[in-house]
Structure 1
Amino acid sequence: MPSGPKLSRRAALGIGASAFAAPAVARAQTLRWRMVTSWPKGRTGPSISAQRIVKRVNAMSGGRLQINLFAAGEIVPPFAVLDAVSNSTVEMGHTAAMYWQGKMPAAGFFTSVPFGLGPIEHQAWIDLRGGQALWEELYKPHSVRAILAGNTGPSMGGWFRRKLDGVEDLKGMRLRVQGLGAEIYAKLGAVPMTLSAGDLLPALEKGSIDAAEFLAPATDLETGLPKYAPFYYAPGFNKPNGASELLISLAAWDLLSPDLRSIVIEACRAEHTLGLADAYQTNAAALTEILGRYPVSLEAFPRSIMDATHRASTELLEEIAATSPLAGRIVESYRSALQELRGWSGLAADMARANTRTSVVVR
């Protein structure tokens, strides 16, 4: 029986390689996800962090995971991000844990605690001291996973229409403030107001609020707050840290291969580092511009206010710890990190100040 043409060894190997490669190509199906945020489009700080995370994941995954980004209000309102990810309306969200205190009293510990951990200390708690496991346990009933995903650094104390002489000046004051700081101000007689970033400036302009705490000089300047409040207060005891979170629905997370999960985690980790460096650079420039361009007085909070808010913070943490066994463990873990890390952090800060030749004078 006549035989057909013989295949060369190279051709045979080529067929074999193609046969094995085809299924691999078929398996490399693109996942297309949507990420909603709590931030206006293009806003300095967390909005830029969300953009950079999306770009990193899209590039590092080689096209296997493609994320489309949506600003606050484009799919869901800014304070509905957790619900949207929890019910799988979208796969991901970029937001801040402090917005969910009403659902989970201990959620604020994963953004910022008054008089609490700074950005690097907070990252050490999350990544190295068990904070991540506690975070996942807290969010599991909502069917989401949270990842540290950017940091805007310490905040300022806020913008006030009138100068503060003492605690009595806070009574009845309508103050836009977020996070655990809102509960502290309420204890001192102020009236905390919850406003999204997009609604903040009109409220201050119209006088429907008396003061506004937002973030730091760069975002405050971009928002326009120096136009309508002449007293800029420090320190930002309310938010010594500015951690953002990436939320992923557990259903979506389960679809990711181990390498794609690592890509998402490392993209977020990189943004914490870059976002914090970006914040320090932009805030330094923005503070100089604010003080040179606007008739603004940079003020220190009166000692009576600092003492009263510190006492209220200690009381608040005890109240949160009592809400559930898990909240108690979160508070205990956080306090342990604060106690053990603060000694070195304080010494490092002293050394930095000793090496600083110029400083901004609070006047």
Structure 2
Amino acid sequence: MERRKFLKGAALGAGATALATPALAQSGKTMTIVSTWPRDFPGLGTSAQRLAARIAQLSDGALNVEYFAAGERVGAFDSFDEVASGNSQAYIAADYYWVGKHPGFAYFTAVPFGMTTTEWNAWIKFKGGQQMWDKLSGEFGLKALPCGATGTQAGGWFNKEVESPDDFKGLKMRIPGLGGNVMSKLGVSTVSLPGGQIYENLVSGAIDATEWVGPYNDYFMKFYEAAKYYYTGGMHEPGGGLALGMNKAWWDSLTEWEQAVITAASHEEHAAQYEESMALNGEYLNKLIDEQGVEVRAFNDDIWDAFGEAATEVFAETRDHSALAAEIDDHFQTNLVEIGKAMALFEGTFVNQRNRVRGLL
């Protein structure tokens, strides 16, 4: 799919929704959404815009949705405080951006060696994960729902090959969340940049490497102009989800029907973004290789072992933060073992054998 066609389609979809019930929309409750993604940003940004439009459409005018991309109302990383204060009603973001507020937020996006998207969905929806999320978010006056997922993310873009744990020492890398803490233990100088600022920092040499999402989302970022080595599945973000974080007082003021509309739209987009990524990652991986000469690599076992040792330290430090952090980690890890074991024995066994027999790798 060409970028221009994609953005045109997304814009038309949002516009059609906005024009559907103009009279009703003016009389409804206002829902101002701020986002951490730039406007018309392929993948993450267009998904957020699609969700905003869908909430307005499903509410049939009961909710007058105003959407602001990163920088249009507040800066990307200011969206948490904007919503917690009540200045806006909701944000769309990756909740691991807020680990400075509380490290427990990482579990509601992704953590090193954690759950895949399928496993995380099971935990959130059917094993009490949403209740843990509510407990944490509630301490900050927020209510969060899953609203997007990208699947297992790439290990990152590097301007040199990394062949041993020592090769990470001295690198400057954009990587947020607990994954960033793991990299720090390997000697990486980590920074957390909004998506719209990564390219300029990579091209200028301010950073040597970055993680982002996966082939579909990454293709449009043009990281290949500064970093030709693209590492497959990383430890830092095996799956999980994005958040529609809402001001809890505002959420509590809604009718049950209005809450149901927002929940339905959020869950719908959560599935749609993941499925879109799965549908397009293969196509755009081929484009990166064939059109841009990107060299695809995988971290070797020595590096994975070093990641694992560092992650063990990071989880211990996270648990030491507070009783709530330990409670969230206990809940997450217990369910990871239970859900992950069944996934490994059935889906894992099948996928590995399918790929072997059919020569997909």
Give the structure 2 partner of residue 160 of structure 1.
158
Deviations 1:150-184 (A, max 9, x none): 11111100011111121111111101111111100
| Structure 2 stretches lacking a partner, 5+ long | 1-23
| TM-score, normalised with respect to structure 1 | 0.89
Bigger helix share:
2
Rg (Cα) greater in structure: 1
> Which one of 117, 120, 123 corresponds to residue 119 of structure 1?
117
CA contact (8 A) 1:159 1:230 kept: yes
Find 1:130's aligned residue among 125, 128, 131.
128
Superposition CA RMSD, Å: 1.6
Show the counterpart of 2:212: 214
Partners of 1:153 and 1:107 in 2: how far apart?
18
Instruction: Name the aligned partner's letter for residue 333 of structure 1.
Output: H
How far off its partner does 1:44 sit? 2.2
Secondary structure, counterpart of 2:246 in structure 1: strand
8 Å CA contact 2:117, 2:152 repeated in 1: yes
Following superposition, the deviation at residue 241 of structure 1 comes to 1.1
Hey, what's the Cα distance between the residues in 1 that align with 2:313 and 2:214? 26
Work out the CA distance in 1 between the residues paired with 2:354 and 2:307.
Answer: 31
CA shift at 1:230, angstroms?
1.2
Question: Is 1:350 matched up with 2:349?
Answer: yes
Counterpart contact for 1:46–1:151, Cα < 8 Å: no
Q: Tell me the amino acid that sits aligned with residue 170 of structure 1.
A: F
Q: What is the CA distance between 1:29 and its match in structure 2? A: 4.7
Q: Distance in 2 between matches of 1:72 and 1:53?
A: 15
Instruction: Please give the secondary structure, in 2, of the residue aligned with 1:40.
Output: coil
Does residue 1:272 correspond to 2:270, yes or no?
Answer: yes
- Residue 91 (structure 1) aligned to one of 70, 80, 89: 89
Match of 1:147 in 2: 145
Q: TM-score, normalising length from structure 2?
A: 0.89
Separation of aligned partners in 2, 1:234 and 1:159: 9
Please give the alpha-carbon distance, in whole angstroms, between the structure 2 residues aligned to 1:197 and 1:359. 35
Give the superposition deviation at 1:242: 4.6
d(CA) in 1 for partners of 2:198, 2:65: 29
Contact 1:150 1:272 in 2 (8 A): yes
Q: Which residue identity is paired with 1:131?
A: G
Q: Which runs of 5+ in 1 are unaligned?
A: 1-25
3-state SS of 2:253 partner: coil
Task: Specify whether residues 56 and 83 from structure 1 end up closer, same or farther in structure 2 by C-alpha distance, changes over 3 A only.
Answer: same
Q: Which residue of 2 aligns with 1:285?
A: 283
- What is the CA–CA distance in structure 2 between the aligned matches of 1:187 and 1:104, rounded to whole Å? 20
Shift of 1:141: 2.2
The answer to whether the 8 Å contact 1:50/1:94 transfers is yes
Instruction: Tell me the secondary structure at the aligned position of residue 307 of structure 2.
Output: helix
Deviation at 1:359, TM superposition (A): 6.0
2:147 and 2:270 in contact (8 A); partners too:
yes
Residue pair 2:28, 2:62 contacting (<8 A) in 1 also: yes
Rounded Cα–Cα distance in structure 2 between residues aligned with 1:235 and 1:265: 30
Instruction: Answer with 44-53 or 173-182: which moved more.
Output: 44-53
Query: What is the CA–CA distance in structure 2 between the aligned matches of 1:29 and 1:36, rounded to whole Å?
Result: 21
Q: In structure 2, which of residues 102, 105, 109 is the aligned counterpart of residue 104 of structure 1?
A: 102
Percent of aligned pairs with the same amino acid: 30
Q: Corresponding residue for 2:334?
A: 336
| Cα separation, 2, equivalents of 1:266 and 1:147 | 10
Q: Which amino acid aligns with 1:348?
A: E
Number of residues of Structure 1 aligned to a counterpart in Structure 2: 335
Tell which deviates more after alignment, 351-360 or 50-59.
351-360
Q: 2:317 aligns with which of 306, 316, 319?
A: 319
Structure 1 residue 355 displacement after superposition: 3.2
Instruction: Tell me, yes or no, if the aligned pair for 1:46 and 1:244 is still in contact at 8 Å.
Output: no
Query: Compared with structure 1, are the counterparts of its residues 183 and 253 closer, same or farther at alpha carbon in structure 2 (3 Å cutoff)?
Result: same
Q: Which amino acid aligns with 1:196?
A: P
Q: Does 1:174 align with 2:162?
A: no
Cα separation, partners in 2 of 1:276 and 1:298, compared to 1, 3 Å: same
Tell me the alpha carbon deviations over residues 91-124 of structure 1, each in whole angstroms, 9 at most, x when there is no partner. 1110111000011011100000111100011011
Provide closer, same or farther for how the CA distance between residues 71 and 290 of structure 1 changes in structure 2, counting only shifts above 3 A.
same
Q: What is the distance in 1 between the residues matched to 2:240 and 2:291?
A: 26
